Amino acid sequence: MVKISPSLLAADFTQLGRELKKIESGGAQWLHLDVMDGVFVPNISFGLPVIQSLRPVTGLTFDVHLMIQDPLPYVQAFAKAGADYLTFHLESACDPRETIRKIHEAGMKAGISIKPATPVEQLLPFLPELQLVLVMSVEPGFGGQKFMPESLQKIRSIRAAAPDVHISVDGGINAETGTLCREAGADVLVAGSFVFGAEDPQKAIALLKGEEDGA
């Protein structure tokens, strides 16, 4: 079953508790939390205090995406803040195997994300140790970009190599691109404005799941 992971960056930050209740009641199962350091990507978002403050007010699975230069020193802190899945970038400065091991030791599920220019082949050696792969279908760092269709072949290749891993896609996801991603083998869709900006978030989430009538 496809899981919808709305991106917190698109929420109204003055009403976060209400925003989370809205998407949870609308059928979202996960919450995507983008942590940016202004170094690995040219933007800064939020960090540990926001995640920690939200953890007690929702039952959503926390899908934390670290767009930071060196994630390894922060693994334990994100576990304490309430992350369920912790995803770091293959292109970051840390040792991937050591980071995966630390994530598991901290009681979280491990994910690796790849940028659009990174070949899938670089990811393949780590797949047996992962619970999630995040395919970036835009350049990471800013919302509102257009979906890159070449991401679909990456999804197909990862699904063929790892039938049981969660494949998440982030960037330019809407009803149309979400369908393409599901057909390619993705089972987690990250969507920002399509969900949080929707007049009817429940309908938007249903459309992303492939419930064509949006009911």
Catalytic site residues? 34, 170
Cα torsion at 163, 168, 172, 177 (round to 10°)? 30
Backbone torsions φ then ψ of 200, nearest 5 degrees:
-130, 90
170 neighbors 190 (Cβ within 8 angstroms): yes
Alpha-carbon Rg of the chain, whole angstroms? 16
What are the angstrom distances between the C-alpha of 13 and each of 29, 70, 112, 166? 20, 27, 27, 28
